[in-house]
Structure 1
Amino acid sequence: MHPQASADDRQSGITAEARNDLLGTLDAVVRQRLLSEQWEDILTVLERASAAVDAGNDAGVYAATGALQLLGTPRTPRIGSGEGSTPVEPPPKVHERTNYLKHSLRSQETRGAAPRDDAHGDGRDDGRRTSS
């Protein structure tokens, strides 16, 4: 876990910083035009990111975010390298994976920030409702 993580951030297993970094990276990834082979590599990392998010693995989320940032760097194709050497928009599978991840991350954020009335400070819900 990132050393700056607070106790509230750790409730879902993923810090707010890791969550926000991945969300920002996912937004950037789908705006890229990359080579077909790069999209295949990105899909592999998106699967690892999904597993890390589902497991609440903060270190795995950071690792996947870094890998996506590196893989999302456009490469210059070799001249005359043929089919697949022209950068293309993300395939539908990339959009599906990124949307799944965004939903998962935002769901965890919502669960971690759920208000409760804890007047005793012992974690018990005192039966009163808080206004949101």
Structure 2
Amino acid sequence: MAAVKQFQVTFDCAEPERVARFWCDVLGYVVPPPPEGFAGWDEFDRSLPAEDQGSAFACVDPTGVGPRLFFQRVPEGKTVKNRLHLDVRVGTGLVGAERLAALEAECARLLPLGARRVRLLEADEVNESCLVMQDVEGNEFCLD
């Protein structure tokens, strides 16, 4: 049997630090310490060649349980639906009106951070309700 591997989730984006800080706020993640020898990430960034400055940023789960999130600058913008998205689990175990209230409360918290509401997918015979959102650069995610 293969051993479980650690992994990180990588986002292509235009503004890595902006998107990373959004996800820190959404998930309760934190910015890791800068590399040894640097007082902060700004100092580290200034040490890079001009074309690499601002090209990447990361955030981590402070408990060490969740995956590291890495954000890298790419030249092209997002033009189609994500092939992969995050489900932010805020309604686990809840059903009906109680679940919808949890989804709506989290949506209300995220809108001032720059998230956009896309649509509510209402419960059916198989699935409970979820709320499709977009992050600050238009990447889809679900409140589930």
Q: Relative to total residues, which structure has the larger strand share, 1 or 2?
A: 2
The TM-score normalised by the length of structure 1 is 0.28
